[in-house]
Amino acid sequence: MKELPLRLLLVFTFFSPSIAGDSLTSTTSLLDGQTLVSTSGIFELGFCSPGDSPYRYVGIWYKKIPVQTIVWIANRASPLTDYTGVLTIRKDGNLVLLNSMAEVLWTSGLTVSASNNPIAQLLDSGNFVLRAEESSSPESFAWQSFDYPSDTLLPGMKLGWNLKTSLNRYISSWKSFDDPSPGSYSFRMDPHGSPELFLYRESTKIHASGPWNGLQFSGIPQLKPNEFFRFSFISTQDEVYYTYEMNKGSVVSRLVMNTSGQLQRFVWSAAKQAWSVFWSDPKDQCDHYAECGPFGVCNSSQAPICSCLTGFQPKSPQEWNLRDGSAGCVRITPLDCKRDGFVTVGNMKLPDTTIASVDESMSLDECRESCSKNCSCRAYASANISGGESGCIIWATDLIDIRNFVDGGQDLHVRLAASELAKMNSGRSSDNKKVVIVNVLIFSGLLLLGIGGCCILNKKCGTTSLPSFSRRGPAAYLAKEHCSNDEISASKELDLPFFDLETIVAATNNFAIESKIGEGGFGPVYQGKLNNGQDIAVKKLSEKSSQGLDEFKNEVVLIAKLQHRNLVRLLDEGKRSLLSWQNRFAIIMGIGRGLLYLHQDSRFRIIHRDLKAGNVLLDREMNPKISDFGMARIFGDDQTHARTRKVVGTYGYMSPEYAMDGILSIKLDVFSFGVLVLEIISGKRNKGFYQSEQHSNLITYAWKLWKEGKSFELLDESLEDLHSISEVLRSIQVGLLCAQEQPRDRPMMSSVIMMLATENAALPEPKEPGFSSGRGLVDIKASIQSVNYLTATTLQAR
């Protein structure tokens, strides 16, 4: 304890002697330098100075965790300027914080005395409560810190409203690392309609959870109960709130609203003696509130991310083409009430429900009938899907903040004019003519399962009985009945085995929704199992797919012709596993060798054009395999670059010269490789990475850390077995070198392999990487529209 000034000695004489333990009484007080410790020693309460702050605050932190982690602060907006603070219980029963002049800096704010013998106690839950001496039940608490959160939600805390007292419990960000006063961001419940949780910047909504549907919030499908957490949503006449509990007492976790406006769920790692991010939100652009405007649907796995609901069209086509969907969509055909019908769209985050009407007693059929009779009704949905579908939500205004998920969400029934429904029905006969491809099972990130074969059923080729599956190469269904002689000849030349459609239908349980595991550029992906036990994955290509038969045939041809240990073969088996640093470095090297083969050592010089995490598979030995050659381009032996009118690929991986000007060279793949290296190191995606408002992608953040000499902070926090710091730093530097803005500054893959493999290699200093100066996708698209107008360049990214 620091030496105290004389004026504090006067305070000592004014108050009764301070005490130790977990409680304060009306005859004791807490001075700076003393603490209360909960019964089991889990939490500690006392005076603290967060970060480098010169001020003092009364706070609560974890007692047994060596890194001081503050979970609650009393006087957030009224700090002490010295070490003279005193926390005590006043005669009126209120907890108060006084400075050396006996001025009240903070109070519990009770209007009614707690009791004649009040006690302030720090509980093992982290809750600091004021109660009567004779009662310890939660109902008897006159005041509790859990009702007034700071930036942290602990297990058992309620996020929401006490409707009887109008108490709104919410968390809000600190202003900075060392300033705990309320910042710009808050996460709070809106109790109206079907209640939702919203993330606000000041008073502006920037993210919404979607309503609780009995299982989870419809906009956060990943927030499901698991072996560690259980989540609850309570809505009664008296209160509406969200809370969570831990299933394992040994796991320490907290939910934090950080200073940059991101929700982060941390878990303490005893092995690393550090906090690891278990979950965070928002994660991508579609998590932004109303990203695609009224009647617009956001889908982060497609490009552009915004589309209109069936029966709607962009309100502002020009802005829509520039990737600005904020104006949303408008109906193609006006409603006439009496003849309207409904179209069902699945896997949806429900629109903003705070202005919707809710009736928990209705069945879904009754809900439909009610909506039909109400000419103002725009859509309806089930309020609860936990045990079938029950309850009714009806929207009578524009549908805002809709999102489509690959896995999650629920059905939304949208009102359409009869003529629009007729158009839909007339087009359904063509649904049976969609392309079905068995290719690769893609998981987001790096934990990929490499399995599958390859099968196609298309508009051009009929359905006939075909030979069984073969391990000799990619299996393609090209029925002879309606195919051209050239196509039949080509399939024989490649020695392609065949599937019949019935086999694929049986393997995927008739493309059941339970079998759907993802979605790629071709369309949805389904998991299946053949009669011989072989795991496969099926890509179903729809007419609206950004890829088509030409891309598929291109992929089949290249995979059949190219053979390399780091290029995918369509029957590689694999497994999901947590990736150590040794695994990750081996994956980086393997991908690099695969690219080197494509660029230099194969029979053809090939540019992949769509290198990304989703197109890298891992076999059972965790060896990486480059897959998906639908976009690949073959170059001549003496050809170094070309210009294309059709820019294809994936946002976040395309090099600037390719995205902007359609210039195609092997340096495009080098750029994509650099992005992928940074993703593998960090465990984060370049697309949808939002560290702060200043760092809107992973490349920008990596470059910032590099300039500040903090590159090691880019490393995935989940890694516990790290042994080679120099290997990590070398890999980060290589990643930045590959992702440089100018193609001439990027190394060839032969140099990349040498730099990665050589411990003492002298590496050049990287320059500023591409797209790190703040230019976003809208800017890219705008440049393509304007600068390349005469070349009619089109952008088809995924």
Q: In 728-748, which positions are buried (b, 16+ CB within 10 angstroms) versus exposed (e)?
A: bbbbbbbbbbbbbbebebbbe
DSSP element (H, E) containing 725 = helix 725-738
Q: What is the Cα gyration radius of the chain?
A: 30
Tell me the HSE value of 324 on the side-chain side, using a 13 A CA sphere: 12
Residue whose structure tokens are 């099968």 = 455
Cβ neighbours of residue 672 closer than 8 Å, sequence gap 6 or more: 608, 610, 611, 612, 649, 653, 654, 655
User: Which residue from 191, 193, 147, 154 is spatially nearest to 170, judged by alpha carbons?
Assistant: 147
Residue 8, SS3? helix
DSSP annotation of 338: S
The dihedral built from the CA positions of residue 535, 541, 547 and 548, taken in this order, carries a sign that is positive
Return d(Cα 701, Cα 708) in angstroms, integer.
11
The 3-class SS string of 598-620 reads HHHHCCCEEECCCCCHHHEEECC
Give SS3 for 716. coil
Q: What would the DSSP string read from start to end of 361-427?
A: T--HHHHHHHHHH-TT--EEE-SB-TTS-B-EEEE-S---SEEE-SS--EEEEEEE-HHHHHHHHHH
Q: How far is CA 284 from CA 85, 305, 443, 627, 682, in A?
A: 44, 11, 17, 25, 16
H or E segment at 48? strand 43-48
Question: Please, is 202 exposed, middle or buried when counting C-beta atoms within 10 Å of its C-beta (0-12, 13-18, 19+)?
Answer: exposed
Looking only at the bridges linking them, the beta strands covering 296-298 and 274-281 are unpaired
* Residue 661 known to be catalytic: no
User: Whose CA is closest to 405, among 444, 458, 435, 433?
Assistant: 444
Catalytic member of 32, 610, 669, 716 = 610
Residue 217: name the closest of 233, 201, 200 by CA. 233
Which residues, in sequence order, are CB contacts of 388 under 8 Å at separation 6+?
Answer: none
What's the distance, CA 617 to chain centroid? 21
Instruction: Give which of 675, 446, 706 is closest to 581, Cα–Cα.
Output: 446
Residue 343: count of CB within 10 angstroms of its CB: 16
The residue behind tokens 């429904």 is 421
Query: Taking the chain, what is the end-to-end CA distance rounded to the nearest angstrom?
Result: 59
Torsion, Cα 527 528 529 530, to 10 degrees, reads -140
Task: Report yes or no: 215 and 221 within 8 Å, Cβ to Cβ.
Answer: no
Q: What are the residue numbers of the active site?
A: 610
